[in-house]
Amino acid sequence: LTLENQLRHAIGRGELYLNYQPKTDLRSGGVAGLEVLVRWKHPEHGSISPAEFIPIAEESGLVVPIGEWILRTAVAQRRAWSDAGVPDVPVAVNLSGKQFLGTDVVALVGAVLRESGLPPRLLELELTESISMDDPVRTADLMRQLRELGTTLSIDDFGTGYSSLSYLKRLPVDKLKVDRSFVLDVHQSAESLAMVKAIIAMAHTLRLEVIAEGVENDGQLAALRSAGCDQIQGDYFSKPLDADACAEYLRKHG
């Protein structure tokens, strides 16, 4: 059986689940939000990384039902947390290229928000820079519609593509996520630090917030803080957590 066929059944068999990674606001020190990260617990092979199965899901089109399940599950979880008094920080869901450009993502997000009753400001959507470059005109139009629903939009893996300042200016986006490759050696490489500083200066000029991902140590944190980064995500503050551990984290730090 191919991995694709096994993935086809993974939702129905309850093998997929979600983790949530906290994002920390550097000014207040509190939790600014959560990124939703899908996980697959395969009955024989154990944990399979989304880095392995999301590309297979994209290729086969399975990313459409899987992406819909992730969105519904994350929104339902956030709604349940709100009902239970867990601090109201937004959840950020990654959208895949096929889901964004190949399906009616605006209708889906609108329906999921309405059905759940979740305040739209508690849903953030992350779109990679490369997806946004594939079809810039449609991307801008879809982002505008998603924002009209009340959601917040981030450009993920920023710095790996070739977005220009004028292109970014035209995108209805709220936040940039600096790619992990710059964060990795930001405390040791003058070039990476300069790159991060340039991204932050540009983003702030456009009134966008900047988050750095993959932060693991004090040196990276200090460099990013001095560069004026707004938010931090990474194992330094917390690894991705299951729903129960995440609720506990939010009660403590939210």
**Which residues here bind Mn ion, judged by CB under 5 A?**
94, 126, 156
Binding site for Na ion (CB under 5 A): 156-157
Nearer residue to ligand G within complex by CB, 31 or 36: 36
- Minimum distance, C-beta of residue 48 to ligand G, in the bound complex (Å): 10
- Minimum distance, C-beta of residue 131 to Na ion, in the bound complex (Å): 12
Nearer residue to Na ion within complex by CB, 57 or 213: 213
Nearer residue to Na ion within complex by CB, 124 or 156: 156
Nearer residue to ligand G within complex by CB, 81 or 237: 237
CA dist 230 and 32 (Å) reads 10
Residues paired with residue 25 on neighbouring β-strands, in sequence order: 231
- Minimum distance, C-beta of residue 136 to ligand G, in the bound complex (Å): 20
Write the DSSP symbol of residue 90. Answer: P
Binding at 96: pick from Na ion, ligand G, Mn ion, none (beta carbon under 5-8 Å per type): ligand G
Nearer residue to Mn ion within complex by CB, 77 or 94: 94
Nearer residue to Na ion within complex by CB, 73 or 128: 128
Binding at 168: pick from Na ion, ligand G, Mn ion, none (beta carbon under 5-8 Å per type): none
Q: Where are the beta strands (DSSP E) in the chain?
A: 16-25, 31-42, 46-48, 91-94, 123-128, 152-158, 175-178, 209-213, 231-233
Binding at 120: pick from Na ion, ligand G, Mn ion, none (beta carbon under 5-8 Å per type): none
End-to-end Cα, the chain, rounded Å: 44
Residues paired with residue 173 on neighbouring β-strands, in sequence order: none
Nearer residue to ligand G within complex by CB, 157 or 230: 157
Residues paired with residue 21 on neighbouring β-strands, in sequence order: 35
Binding at 52: pick from Na ion, Mn ion, ligand G, none (beta carbon under 5-8 Å per type): none
Binding site for ligand G (CB under 6 A): 21, 36-38, 49-51, 54, 70, 94, 96, 156-157, 213-216, 234-235, 240
Binding at 116: pick from ligand G, Na ion, Mn ion, none (beta carbon under 5-8 Å per type): none
Residues paired with residue 182 on neighbouring β-strands, in sequence order: none
> SS3 sequence, 218-252?
HHHHHHHHHCCCCEEECCCCCCCECHHHHHHHHHH
CA dist 120 and 247 (Å) reads 20
- Minimum distance, C-beta of residue 35 to Mn ion, in the bound complex (Å): 6
Cβ-contact 249, 30 below 8 angstroms: no
- Minimum distance, C-beta of residue 158 to Na ion, in the bound complex (Å): 8
- Minimum distance, C-beta of residue 93 to ligand G, in the bound complex (Å): 6
CA dist 88 and 36 (Å) reads 15
Closest CA relative to residue 42, chosen from 11, 71, 77: 11
Helix (H, G, I), strand (E, B) or coil at 96: coil
- Minimum distance, C-beta of residue 9 to ligand G, in the bound complex (Å): 18
